[in-house]
Structure 1
Amino acid sequence: MRPPPAILAPGAEVLGYTVERQLGQGGFGTVYLASNAGQPFALKLLYLPRAGERVEREVSILLKLHHPHVVSLQGYGLWPPREPRFAIIVMEYVDGRRLDLWADEENPSARRVTRVLLDVARALAATHAEGVLHRDVKEANIMVRASDGPAKLLDFGIGDYTGARDLTVDILPPATPEFRAPEAWRYFRQYARVLGARYEAGAADDLWALGVVLYWLLTGRRPFDGEDDADFIEAVLTRTPVPPHEVNERVPHALSDVCLRLLEKTPETRTPSALAVVAALEEVLRGADAAWDVPLCDAFGEDTATTESALDSVEKWMNRPRHRPRRGMRAPPEAPPTPAGATPPETTAKPRHSLRAWAVVVTALVLITTGALLLRGAAGPSGAVTLRQEVAPTDKSTQSDRAVAPNGTEAITAAVALPATLQEVAATVTTQLPEAPYLPLSSKPAKKVRSVMTRTAGMVTCTALLGCPGPQVRPPPPPEPCPVGAVKAMKERGVRTGDSHGAVFVFSSPQIIRVHEGPAQVILVGPWNDLPSNTELSGRLIVRDRVYGRLTWATTPKGDSFPVCLDLLSEEGDRGMAREPGDDSPTSARIYTTAGVKAVREFE
């Protein structure tokens, strides 16, 4: 089964809406910022074969809800119109940040946290009044608007209402485990072996999750933890969380008490309703003094810009309740002092270059000055050294479109004749052969290296010797956050940030292919920890002076899908793929089929 679309290219038209950029990604769909008649909207694409009844569920819920702190429904439909594969839900666009990002970047005071939580509690009160449960209250599903600070509750994809059919046949309904209430885990323990047993969530489950959110906002940590799943569930069921004001002395006692009442172990002892939460928060705000306006956490500053010593970190870990977490904008790294008479370093960011690229430039300059004819295209000496292969296989959206090569055989116009093993193929770069064998990646032939040197030398010859205009330099793409849950999903499968592995665009002999900017796939070569061989990695290509790839979704051969955050690497380990001669288009390029992928925390 294919995952939902990874990325639609900016400018794509969907049911009259123009896509501008991706906003987020989950297990069943992708959300984009789109515009219509000059107005912004959030466009949610859900892959029909995978989303199932969730589409009808979310639309039905949003039609019931009309509240200033609940994201509003603007329209819905199916796309493409003739052969629908996706459901489109058009929602109000909230120009702001997810609650977790807002808290980390703003380092809010107790007063600001309370006001935001009041908005969410009011949204839940209106939701419950309509007989609707959210069932996935968490920071990622709460947006804080940038302009004036109010919060909105969104993503009712796994919500529930009276008369709705079950989404799954599991004993527990869909939810995020870290936010499940004790009564859900208690039911699971008692009835796990009872055929047909089904836990029915209630408003108290949403209130418990709200308490977990508030605890994190106040302390920077979760109220419960454990060595493994069983230990975590035991903690939720039996352990009393440390009061927030004891974890963080800047938390007002009254607000700490509101949080603890939301985290009572049974629905009967918990705050009885969202309306009661609203009343409690309004009451504590009436008694707030100047201490409520102090940021809850320590800020990052000049004295905290450097890494703490191991001893200091261990001491703080052993005494966690005594130390507040740090939040807010990080201080920029201090530039090293410039020696007297030396030219200060550039302050603007520059794209990184590999040692291999610099070596090519230096070699070209030396050969030019000694009269070597690099552009004759002669074969290199038999003793030429091939580059060492550094990315070798030692160890949440499918695309709606594919990046394809043009039909028919295309003439190669490279300055250097390419060997037969590098001939270009007219094939779809996202094609995967069924049951493709494990293919070890060999180093590129020496003549492949020569083509890169020739292109570089040609550029140097034009600019340095003939005074021609320099080539148009297109900067690398701007930074971009990873999909929600990508880092966690990779870690659960043994892939940690910084790890890299081999991948290919097509399973065949090493060759050159033409790719286009936009959606694309590569295929994992060989197993990568718990990621099996032949796993499809979906994302998009960005054509610049190199071809950059940002892969955001993985689909295993068995059909399991989850978000990832992987940068496309050249075979030598550089970010992005080198462009081969023969295509100078700003939207397409010729690249080598052998690549690599690297797990990252965010796209640089």
Structure 2
Amino acid sequence: MTVSLPAEPSGISIDGWTVLKELGNGGFAVVYLVEKHTRRCALKVARHRDSSGDDKQTHARTMRELTALLLLDHPNIVRHQGYGYAERGNAYLALDHVEGWTMAEWVERKHPTFREVLTVFDKLSSALSYMHSRGVLHRDLKLSNVLIRKSDGEPVIIDFSCATFAAAEELTDSGLPPGTDRFRAPEQFRWLQAHTDQHRARYAYQVADEIFALGVMLFDILTDPRPTALDARVSLNSPTFKPPVVCALNHRVPEVLSDLVDCMLSRDPERRPVDTEALRREMGELLVDPSEEYQRPVHPPSEQLPIESTPVPVPDGSGAVALPSRRKAGGLAALATLGVLVVAGALWLNRDVPASAPSTQPEGSRSATAAPIPASPPLPPAMSLSSLATVAQPGPDAVAQVQKEGPTVKNAPTSEVQPQGRQSRGRTKPTVAAECTTMTLVAALAAGCPGAQIRPESFTCPAGAEEVMREDLRWVVNESFAVTLDGRYKRNELVWFTAGAEVEGVVPKGVDARARQVAPTGTRFYGKAYYLSDKMGRSEGPALVIRYDRVKLPGQDERPVCFVVEMTAYGYKDGRVQASNAGGGYVVDRWP
């Protein structure tokens, strides 16, 4: 039996361990910094969610993580220091407490050179090679699940709550294994499409999936000077469209290194390094390269923009806490180097928006470079981070200039864009316009066609959302909840929302009895804003639509959902939509 734990644990005792503070929490556990006989550890305690009814699964997940860790003993993998049960019956794991930064924080704080980044990834590849030789797969590799120890700069892989091993019991009801959508290999989404009606089918996670996830981590570090920011990013796991070339986004990246990332992110798993040992050898070859270009910082310190507001800790379930921040320019602005083609306004849907030509490089090629062209507008992300669930849109960085609308209207964040881009490979504006008019919306989005990002298309809900809403949250399709659309502004204001930007809504005070049970005050919704120029769904005429695909109830964990808000649009200008910040959303089982 696992039970809820106190919200303020400092000073309590867990099986003789004195809790000093909470370090973070995840899907089925909370992590504390604890001490016993002057010895400090990170104590990961299984935590039951009151609405889940999955006591057995919570315990089973902890035991599976323990078994995986018992199989491993490597300096770059977090070590277990024991296990037991709390007084309330919760199973716990005692782990090494790693005093360090997440990889994303490390990039922003230390401004590493290419050689330093390669050194870290060489050690990660070695640790993964060892892990895989022991039959263990991590299944949730990402920047927040690797800590860089402050004392010696060593990387440490943490959070094995999603890990599996030979003969491990499968604890996931959905077809895909647990993990983070951005880091999933494209073959997972192809498999999901092919097995939609086979409810008992399960995807067989492979080493190639781990290599792809590691490639996403390396891509983000090399192309984004502020990887802790929460802005939308270009999709890398589209089953159809190839990821952009790294050295086209950051001209400082050596071409050989760019080619290796391109190989790791290949849509064909057979074109990736055959295993993590082969990847380690390739990393080693780059490390011994004496070229001066590897001694340069990946991103000049001048690109590390100041954080606009005090960061709020975001728990990642591993004992580390990532600090998110918003930026005025940075990673997405760098996407301007992909190049942008502007099409005649008559062919556009209500506005002028920048677009980019898709890569035409053959899948088998490992090298592609293009000369930059000046003064290119920013590029919208190609597809959603989950590829099949939602359409990713350009965040605040995609807006080059915001005009003042008067003292009573809130303006959306803006950014400046670096004047660099990628050549259009000879296609003229009329040619691009003609091609875009023949594409479906999804294809147009990935190809960077103009106007595509302002209108979303129907997609299935995020993986596991229907089950979560039905079984955990007890939500009913078409049920409505009151929401303050953007929690940064007052509920009774008119707000300018940037089409494609991330939006964080919050349930206000004074909700009815039903909402207090299943979506109480303080519940937070996370999603993206869209603009509809005509009737679509519940609204008449131009509308702001916000698709919230994640929810976090007070004191609980973030979970996938399908929740849609449609509001009358009072204005549309320069990629921004004006609407009331007070509205009601609907629970849906498919994006309308």
TM range (shorter): 0.5 to 0.7
User: Could you say which residue in structure 1 is the equivalent of 2:15?
Assistant: 15
1:448 aligned residue:
none
The equivalent position to 1:498 in structure 2, one of 484, 488, 502, is 488
The match for 2:79 is 72
- The structure-2 alpha-carbon separation of the partners of 1:99 and 1:318, relative to structure 1 and needing over 3 Å to count, comes to closer
Confirm or deny: 8 A CA contact 1:144 1:151 kept in the other structure.
yes
1:247: which partner in 2?
249
In structure 2, relative to structure 1, the CA distance for the partners of 1:108 and 1:5 (3 Å cut) is: farther
Map of 1:197 onto structure 2: 201
Residue of 269, 275, 282 corresponding to 1:280: 282
Instruction: Show the 5 A alignment for 1:285-364.
Output: 285-300=287-302, 318-319=336-337
1:25-424 → structure 2 map (5 Å cutoff): 25-48=25-48, 49=55, 51-80=58-87, 83-84=88-89, 86-220=90-224, 236-300=238-302, 318-319=336-337
Q: Is the 8 A contact 1:74 1:91 kept in 2?
A: yes
1:116·1:151 contact (CA, 8 Å) conserved in 2? yes
Cα distance change of structure 1 residues 315 and 533 upon mapping to structure 2, 3 Å threshold: closer
SS of aligned partner of 1:236: coil
Alpha-carbon distance in structure 2 between the residues aligned to 1:263 and 1:29: 31
Q: 2:361 — aligned with what? A: none
Separation (CA, whole Å) in 1 of partners of 2:161 and 2:305 = 44
Distance, in Å, in 1 between the alignment partners of 2:329 and 2:282 is: 42
| Structure 1 SS opposite 2:42 | strand
Alpha-carbon distance in structure 2 between the residues aligned to 1:246 and 1:175:
29
Corresponding letter in the other structure for 2:254: P
Conserved in 1, the CA contact under 8 Å of 2:31 and 2:43?
yes
Output one character per residue of 1:1-59: Cα deviation in whole Å (capped at 9) or x when no partner. 99853644322221121111221121212111111221221111111526242111100
Instruction: Give the structure-1-normalised TM-score.
Output: 0.52
Q: Is the alpha carbon distance of 1:131 and 1:58 closer, same or farther for their aligned partners in structure 2, counting shifts above 3 Å?
A: same
User: Is the CA contact (8 Å cut-off) linking 1:6 and 1:30 kept in structure 2?
Assistant: no
Deviation, structure 1 residue 524? 5.4
- The secondary structure found in structure 1 opposite 2:129 is helix
Give matches, 1:579-598, under 5 Å: none
Q: CA deviation at 1:304?
A: 8.0
Paired residue secondary structure (2:189): helix
Q: Distance in 2 between matches of 1:312 and 1:43?
A: 36
Greater relative contact order (Cα < 8 A, sep 6+): 1
Give the letter for the 1:273 counterpart: D
The root-mean-square deviation of aligned C-alpha atoms, in Å, is 4.3
**Partners in 1 of 2:304 and 2:194 — Cα distance?**
53
Partner of 2:580 in structure 1? none
Residue of structure 2 equivalent to 1:526: 511
Quote the Cα distance in structure 1 between the aligned partners of 2:73 and 2:280: 18
Q: Partner of 1:237: helix, strand, or coil?
A: coil
Q: Which amino acid aligns with 2:520?
A: T
Distance 1:172 1:7 in 2: 32
Q: When the two structures are superposed, what TM-score results if normalisation uses the length of structure 2? A: 0.53
Return the alpha-carbon distance in structure 2 between the equivalents of residues 208 and 297 of structure 1: 23
Shift of 1:295: 1.4
Read off the aligned partner of 2:64 and give its amino acid letter. R
Measured in 2, the distance between the counterparts of 1:141 and 1:134 equals 10
Alignment check: 8 A CA contact 1:5 1:29 kept: no
State the match for 2:564 in structure 1: none
Alpha-carbon deviation of 1:525? Answer: 3.5
SS at match of 2:200: coil
- Indicate if the aligned counterparts of 2:137 and 2:163 stay in contact, CA closer than 8 A: yes
Identity %: 29
* Long gaps (5+) in structure 1: 326-434, 436-492, 503-521, 539-552, 565-604
Residue-by-residue CA offset, 1:175-221 (whole Å, 9 max, x unaligned): 11111111111111111112422111011111110000000011118
Residue 151 (structure 1) shift: 0.2
Read off the aligned partner of 1:132 and give its amino acid letter.
Answer: V
Secondary structure at the counterpart of residue 114 of structure 1: helix
Cα shift at 1:79: 1.1
Indicate the SS of the match to 1:27: coil
Distance (Å, rounded) in 2 between the aligned partners of 1:312 and 1:163: 44
- Contact kept? 1:525, 1:534, Cα under 8 Å: no
